Amino acid sequence: MIDTDTLDTESELRAEIVRLNKVVEALMNRVEHSSTQHCSDFDQFQTTIMLENLVRARTKELEAALRENEKINRALQEAEEKFHRVLDQSLVGITMIIEDRFHYVNPKFAEIFDYEVDHLLNMGMMELISDVDQPALREAMQKVLNKDLAKINFIANAYRRNGQLITVEVSGSPAIDIGGKPAVIAVLADISERLRSERQVKALHEQLQYQAIHDPLTGLYNRLFLNENLERELLLAERRGYEVSVVMSDLDHFKMINDCYGHQAGDAVLKAFADIMKRHARGSDLDCRYGGEEFFLVLPDTSQQTASERAELIRSALVAQPIALADICIGVTASFGVATYPANGLSSVALIGAADKALYLAKDAGRNQVVAAAQPSL
Q: Examine the pLDDT at 346 and tell me if it is beyond 80.
A: yes
**DSSP-derived pairing of the beta strands 329-330 and 334-341:** unpaired
Q: Are residues 158 and 298 in the same domain?
A: no
Distance CA 348, CA 234 (A): 7
Which domain CATH number covers 303?
3.30.70.270
Burial of 299 (C-beta count, 10 Å sphere; 0-12/13-18/19+): buried
Q: Are residues 111 and 77 in the same domain?
A: no
Please tell me the pTM assigned to this model. Answer: 0.62
Does 343 fall in a domain?
yes
Amino acid letter, residue 102: F
Query: What pLDDT does 274 receive?
Result: 96
Q: What percent of the chain has pLDDT over 90?
A: 48
Q: Are residues 355 and 258 in the same domain?
A: yes
Query: What pLDDT does 181 receive?
Result: 85
Number of domains in the chain: 3
Tell me, rounded to whole angstroms, the distance of Cα 172 from its chain centroid.
19
Does 209 fall in a domain?
no
Does 206 fall in a domain?
no
Does 205 fall in a domain?
no
Q: Are residues 154 and 236 in the same domain?
A: no
Does 378 fall in a domain?
no
**pLDDT bracket for residue 13 (50, 70, 90):** low
Q: Are residues 78 and 177 in the same domain?
A: no
Catalytic entry in 61, 70, 293, 312: 293
Of 56, 88, 120, the domain-final residue: 88
Average pLDDT, the chain: 83
Q: Are residues 320 and 352 in the same domain?
A: yes
Does 45 fall in a domain?
yes
Q: Examine the pLDDT at 285 and tell me if it is beyond 80.
A: yes
Q: Are residues 42 and 81 in the same domain?
A: yes
Range of the domain at 33: 4-88
Does 202 fall in a domain?
no
Q: Examine the pLDDT at 152 and tell me if it is beyond 90.
A: no
Q: Examine the pLDDT at 305 and tell me if it is beyond 90.
A: yes
Q: Is 99 marked active-site?
A: no
Are the C-beta atoms of residues 292 and 258 closer than 8 Å to each other?
no
**pLDDT bracket for residue 325 (50, 70, 90):** confident
Q: Examine the pLDDT at 245 and tell me if it is beyond 70.
A: yes
Q: Are residues 220 and 344 in the same domain?
A: yes
Q: Are residues 33 and 72 in the same domain?
A: yes
Query: What pLDDT does 327 receive?
Result: 79
Of 159, 194, 229, the domain-final residue: 194
Q: Are residues 337 and 246 in the same domain?
A: yes
Of 67, 88, 109, the domain-final residue: 88
Q: What is the pLDDT of residues 86-105, one digit of tens each?
A: 445 567 888 888 888 888 88
Which domain CATH number covers 97?
3.30.450.20
For the residues 215-231, what does the mean pLDDT come to? Answer: 93
Q: Are residues 54 and 111 in the same domain?
A: no
Q: What percent of the chain has pLDDT over 70?
A: 77
Q: Are residues 219 and 368 in the same domain?
A: yes
Q: What is the pLDDT of residues 111-143, one digit of tens each?
A: 899 999 899 999 988 899 999 999 988 888 888
Contacts 24+ apart (CB under 8 A), 27-33: 27/51
